[in-house]
Structure 1
């Protein structure tokens, strides 16, 4: 079914609102993996980040995502300054966490989200990631 074939007022292909929660959980896990691999974070800091991550998935409309990203950023400050491939993963995960948490915060669990409505966000995410990953590669090349 194409967008032109959808009658006015009808929804095109949709995703359930709850589907954003597992995507958010994956983004949180990717962020933690990237930060743990890049920075020499203490196990306690990673445990705190994991607990905040669980609350982020449970209550995405809270400020838990902000707290999670703040803990991950503080862990990154403990890095020895070396640019590695882990930083690339941390940048991807942090951005995915930010975008997905923002979407999950405003989409009710029982709602249906038209896939076409998510395309502009996906395009902006891809463009920002292309630029961010290029900067990480340039920093890696000069370090």
Structure 2
């Protein structure tokens, strides 16, 4: 998308943050489903709460979604698998994109450069988090 008048760089439409949020919710649900042995009801509830979080990112539904997925993780019986790595990635991506989507209106343009600091922090935190998961996996 071309930059509107007054923009300093390339922009994305604000709704792309909601698409990214939806993708991260989906990744998280799939990872939790692969990692744990939770009931289909709990997964359906996670999908429902995650869908509301995407539709209304300004609500606290993303927090409820992450809490529900965390509780589902208790059903994993302490197993550390590759699914856990994906769940960590999805949960963190959900947290970051929900925060961004909550403050950027769907119709507003957002400069890509404004998203760079969040992306850099995400990459650093994921590198550390994934290293911890790999270490825990190696020790079990």
TM-score of the two chains, using structure 2 as the length reference = 0.95
Aligned residue for 1:85? 82
Q: How does 1:21-32 map to 2 (within 5 A)?
A: 21-32=18-29
For residues 81 and 141 of structure 1, what CA distance do their matches in structure 2 show? 14
Aligned residue for 1:139? 136
* 1:60-113 superposed Cα distances (whole Å, 9 cap, x missing partner): 000000010011000001111110000000000000000000000000011110
For residues 12 and 113 of structure 2, what CA distance do their matches in structure 1 show? 10
Aligned residue for 2:66? 69
Q: How does 1:37-116 map to 2 (within 5 A)?
A: 37-116=34-113
CA-based RMSD: 1.1
Please, which runs of 5 or more residues in structure 1 have no aligned partner? 1-5
Q: Stretches of 4+ moved more than 3 A in 1?
A: none
For residues 120 and 64 of structure 1, what CA distance do their matches in structure 2 show? 25
For residues 19 and 129 of structure 1, what CA distance do their matches in structure 2 show? 22
- Higher Rg: 1
CA contact (8 A) 2:58 2:102 kept: yes
Paired positions, count: 136
Aligned residue for 2:125? 128
* 1:2-36 superposed Cα distances (whole Å, 9 cap, x missing partner): xxxx9xx5331000001111110000001011111
